[in-house]
Amino acid sequence: MRKQPPPWHLQLKLLQSSPLHSLWLKQLQQKLLNYLLIRLPHLLSKMRLLRWLQMQKHSRLHHWQM
């Protein structure tokens, strides 16, 4: 007895066979891009903040060691 593929797999096959597939992919890519463009500055600032905090910690440690 063979294992049945999961339903999402079937959906994917249906999508690939349909002409809407490429359109759907394009829309998805666009959404992802928009999301990234919105979120990226936020993430970058977060990373910068973290790096800054780490630097502060290190400098403080150096002060204590002296």
CA distance 27 to 54: 39
Q: Assess whether pLDDT exceeds 80 at residue 54.
A: yes
Q: What pTM does this model have?
A: 0.38
Residues 43, 35: contact at Cβ < 8 Å?
A: no
% of the chain surpassing 90 pLDDT: 29
Q: Which residues, including other chains, have CB under 8 Å from residue 63's CB and lie 6 or more apart?
A: none
Per-residue pLDDT at 30: 93
Q: Which residues, including other chains, have CB under 8 Å from residue 21's CB and lie 6 or more apart?
A: 15
User: What are the tens digits of pLDDT across the range 16-39?
Assistant: 677 677 888 889 999 999 998 999
- Among 20-24, 39-43, 44-48, 54-58, the range scoring the smallest mean pLDDT is 20-24
CA distance 40 to 45: 9
